Structure 1
Amino acid sequence: MAKAPAKKQDDRQIIRIFDTTLRDGEQSPGNSMNIEEKLRIAKQLQKLNVDVIEAGFPIASEGDFEAVKKVAQMIKGPQIAGLCRSNDKDIDRAWEALKYAGEKGRIHTFIATSDIHMKYKLKMEPGRVLESAVKAVKRAAGYTPNVEFSCEDAVRTRLPFLAEVVEAVIAAGATTVNIPDTVGYTIPFEYFNIIKYLKDNVPNIDKAIISVHCHNDLGLSVANSVAAVQAGARQVECTLNGIGERAGNCSLEEFVMILKTRGDILPFACNIATEQLTPSSRLLSNITGIAVQPNKAVVGANAFAHESGIHQHGMLMEKSTYEIMTPESVGLSASALVLGKHSGRHAFKKRLEELGHDLDGEKLNRAFERFKALADLKKEVFDEDLDAIVADEAREEEKYKLGHITVTCGSFAVATATVQMEIEGNAVRTAELGDGPVDATLKAIRKLSKTKASLMQYNVGSITGGTDAQGEVTVRVAEGQHVVVGKGSSTDIIEASAKAYIHALNRLNYKQKRMPEGV
């Protein structure tokens, strides 16, 4: 049977992309971001052309409130959403931050509707939950007509009650209703049937957009999102690199490229500038210090790599034999060599912008100086090298700063490290012995910082190939309930280790101030 021709872009139904990298994505261990880092991600999401940016949970902390407020003030284009529970205090606080976005400010309120959540978490009867949901939506609608309501744990909710809640909140003023798979429990055909049930049994369902928010506990978040869209959902909530609680969320880049690649059978489109997918993924990885796995779909290092002889032969004959999308379509440049030691500041800044980095002033100057120094040491400077430089230089003012390190070690000598740091502007120095130069260096930093944090993980790798490559170190540090990731790079692996550890301590300090133990 002949394949039906793909619909033209103008004939396709538009799926809204609701990005929750800054809210749900940030909730996973090690992914917390400070305000400046959130703004950098938000600016990149603006370039990516997402429809909605969920900027945070304003009631959670003063830091979250300020982040949502600044995103609402600075970002133009996407709608800006803030999450809040179904109570007056949360809703009022959310709008206090979101009001700067005007008509593009979206209050996103929620309450759990499944029996297990109502019984054990909320300790509320269904009638009270319904009443609370309606009251919350009405209060939110008093501030803005742009109100989204989520039935938390919707896929484990009894369908008649789910339909009752959805009908009631739409009548109360919700213009978007979210049917989340909060715990990543459902499978595609079941999720399709849930959305279809609501389409068939909620009389006023045409008055609101159905949204879906899928978690990846069983590895089905993207597949479930596609099934929901086929059943009638018109907004998908997702994150860059699929980050988020537990196993993460629906991956934005994977869902978007499914729509673009399989237009032959999926009559849908979205407004995403797909050429910004790789820069967006890289920026998030550099800020959080958490890299995507090499075999990650769309943005992984191996996504467009071909090693098999059969595959290579096919690629030489015709690329479409083994590539269902082009590297250029997701923003991956075919050229590996970016800049050299003779390159100027304008070319350097332009390439950073192409990679999704936005540096100005002193930060740009420091990054350029590091680039020139690196170019003198390396034969080739790659995009990955530039990403690493920006990751070091783009951070806001920090409590701990590395001064210099002197290390002595050898086969017949005990490793000794002398470390000088600045702590809140004050220069301090100490020396420590260790089981190797890295151990001695980190011991000295621990002593100077007086940290009680535990080093949970230490990973070292090469950013690019060659003996002159920059070393990249990633550490995971924990203290109490707080877990953070730190990242550092240098052609000297000892220096890279120190930078990563200090980066982690700064992130831990920020997180402890933003959300003290027990909150």
Structure 2
Amino acid sequence: MDADRKLRAFTMMVAMGFKEIEVGYPSASGLDFDFVRLLAERDDLVPDDVTVVVFTAARDDLIRRTVASIDGLARAVVHMYTATAPTWRDVVLRASRAGLRTRILHAAGVVLSETDRLAHTYTRFEFSPEVFNLTEPEFVLDVCNAVTGRWDAAPDRPVIHNLPATVECATPNVYADQIEWMSRHLDRRNDVILSVHPHNDRGTGVACAELAVLAGAQRVEGCLFGNGERTGNVDLVTLAMNLYTQGIDPKLDFSDIDAVRRTVEHYNRMPVPDRHPYAGDLVYTAFSGTHQDAIDKGMIFHAKRAAALGVPESEAPWEVPYLPVDPADVGRSYEAVIRVNSQSGKGGVAYLLRTGHGLDLPPGLRVEVGALAQAASEGRAGGGELTPAELWSLFRDEYLVHPGFPVDLDGVEVIEEVTGNFREAIISYVRCRIAEVERWGAGVGSTPEAARHAAMSSAARRAV
């Protein structure tokens, strides 16, 4: 990621409300080092309540390079990691438990001595025993406790112990049990912020994070839309929005979730899938007829309840079937909530005609118009989708546009009639019996009588 993309990402995360942002691996990349220096040297990029986090392996030269990058920042967290699991110790690091413990404590000392030289940067420290979830619990506990002591943690300068599920290998409850055990057994617990860092190899990164928080974790590391190595890190968008739907304010601004998505797609150069929770193009969209009918009724109920409470719809309790969050809360319109194809039914068609064109069809007419729409969709290859404009044309041509020949209304019996407003006129829907045949008609007029006459004419012509 180049500097422009990094800056755009950082600026967006600040605007969203993130207070700790890991911005790079300065010892591994010249681009990352230069970007951290940019943040340090410009006064207008890092607000007073935001802390920059930098990442480093537990190696002397890499630590020194990392600390050099943050000189001049008002606040920073130096995040040091090393793998601790048996396979990594044996195959990658070729170190015994005792040897690795010594190596980690030495590196922690280097972090301390190097940051002590920074005259104007307040630093805190973070340690990640990489592959924590596959490491012997008693070993990782011993190492973390030793690091807490080495960094002289205190309540006003707590150490972050970040416990990664670097490769997700078990169900979320197993990870939560590991976090709970650590939370209960860590020394100087009030001097420690317990953090988690789930990956998504099994597709359950969000569940791991949620259960870990319930088990005692105080902090979660992740990425927007789950970017990261392999299958990615835990998705902070989904995690935060899950909290939001349960009535917990995550203190992050997703009021324009599409703008967030576009920015992330730009700097990652990867698309967010259509079905991605909360942000995909289709996640607030129903094609199924039963879903559409329930949503249609739910939206009507929501509007009526808001009116009864005397509050705007945005402030009324949200209880609409199949929509766990009000799309308007994340900057979406209701336009795409219901889309019509061959699997759709009367509810979806009625919803689109009502919200798009002001046509509040009576129940019996909804069934008939739904069948017309389904037939029109099935006539297309693959049961193609009908747009709201096409649905309006279908209704208009069937019910409102009448051929020029006259009709005799003497034998037309009105069985059911519903009248309402339509644009600046009156619309009437009538169900009529004509020579033992029942037909619906619709008509528009400047008065109820004129609209009724036009609707009866519509029904009579449709009976011919």
Shorter-chain TM-score range = 0.5 to 0.7
Q: 2:59 aligned with 1:87, yes or no?
A: yes
CA contact (8 A) 1:45 1:280 kept: no
Amino acid at match of 2:222: C
Alignment of 1:230-245 (within 5 A): 230-245=214-229
CA contact (8 A) 2:254 2:260 kept: no
Alignment of 1:283-294 (within 5 A): 283-294=263-274
CA contact (8 A) 2:63 2:111 kept: yes
Q: 2:126 aligned with 1:148, yes or no?
A: yes
* Post-superposition offset of 1:38: 0.5
CA RMSD of aligned residues (A): 2.0
Q: 1:308 aligns with which of 272, 281, 288?
A: 288
Q: 2:79 aligned with 1:108, yes or no?
A: yes
- What per-residue deviation string (whole Å, max 9, x for no partner) do you get for residues 4-27 of structure 1? xxxxxxxxxxxxxxxxxxxxxxxx
Amino acid at match of 2:321: T
What residue number does 1:326 align with?
A: 326
C-alpha distance in structure 2 between counterparts of 1:277 and 1:66, whole Å: 30
* Post-superposition offset of 1:79: 1.2
Larger RCO: 1 or 2 (CA < 8 Å, sep 6+): 1
C-alpha distance in structure 2 between counterparts of 1:329 and 1:135, whole Å: 49
* Post-superposition offset of 1:101: 2.3
Alignment of 1:66-81 (within 5 A): 66-72=34-40, 73=42, 74-76=45-47, 77-81=49-53
SS at match of 1:228: helix
CA contact (8 A) 2:8 2:267 kept: no
C-alpha distance in structure 2 between counterparts of 1:166 and 1:225, whole Å: 20
- What per-residue deviation string (whole Å, max 9, x for no partner) do you get for residues 450-493 of structure 1? xxxxxxxxxxxxxxx9xxxxxxxxxxxxxxxxxxxxxxxxxxxx
The size of the alignment, in residue pairs, is 301
C-alpha distance in structure 2 between counterparts of 1:79 and 1:276, whole Å: 24
SS at match of 2:81: strand
Moved more, 223-232 or 309-318: 309-318
CA contact (8 A) 1:112 1:153 kept: yes
C-alpha distance in structure 2 between counterparts of 1:252 and 1:62, whole Å: 27
Amino acid at match of 1:161: F
CA contact (8 A) 1:261 1:325 kept: yes
* Post-superposition offset of 1:262: 2.1
- What per-residue deviation string (whole Å, max 9, x for no partner) do you get for residues 123-181 of structure 1? 11111221222222233234154111100000000010011011111112261000001
C-alpha distance in structure 2 between counterparts of 1:54 and 1:182, whole Å: 17
* Post-superposition offset of 1:99: 2.6
What residue number does 1:507 align with?
A: none
What residue number does 2:149 align with?
A: 171
CA contact (8 A) 1:185 1:217 kept: yes
Alignment of 1:110-129 (within 5 A): 110-129=81-100
Normalized against structure 1, the TM-score is what? 0.55
What residue number does 1:35 align with?
A: 3
C-alpha distance in structure 2 between counterparts of 1:95 and 1:279, whole Å: 34
Change (3 A) 1:135 1:295: same
Q: 2:278 aligned with 1:298, yes or no?
A: yes
C-alpha distance in structure 2 between counterparts of 1:165 and 1:288, whole Å: 35
* Post-superposition offset of 1:334: 5.1
C-alpha distance in structure 1 between counterparts of 2:196 and 2:335, whole Å: 38
Normalized against structure 2, the TM-score is what? 0.62
Moved more, 147-156 or 65-74: 65-74
Change (3 A) 1:120 1:242: same
Larger radius of gyration: 2
* Post-superposition offset of 1:335: 7.0
What residue number does 2:370 align with?
A: none
Change (3 A) 1:181 1:140: same
Alignment of 1:332-481 (within 5 A): 332-333=332-333
What residue number does 1:254 align with?
A: 238
SS at match of 1:274: coil
CA contact (8 A) 1:163 1:198 kept: yes
C-alpha distance in structure 1 between counterparts of 2:39 and 2:257, whole Å: 20
Amino acid at match of 1:139: V
CA contact (8 A) 1:82 1:94 kept: yes
* Post-superposition offset of 1:276: 4.7
C-alpha distance in structure 2 between counterparts of 1:282 and 1:39, whole Å: 15
* Post-superposition offset of 1:333: 4.7
Q: 2:211 aligned with 1:227, yes or no?
A: yes
C-alpha distance in structure 2 between counterparts of 1:154 and 1:36, whole Å: 34
Alignment of 1:196-215 (within 5 A): 196-215=180-199
User: Where does the alignment leave 5 or more consecutive residues of structure 1 unmatched?
Assistant: 1-32, 337-464, 466-519
Amino acid at match of 1:305: T
* Post-superposition offset of 1:269: 4.8
SS at match of 1:54: strand
CA contact (8 A) 2:16 2:253 kept: yes
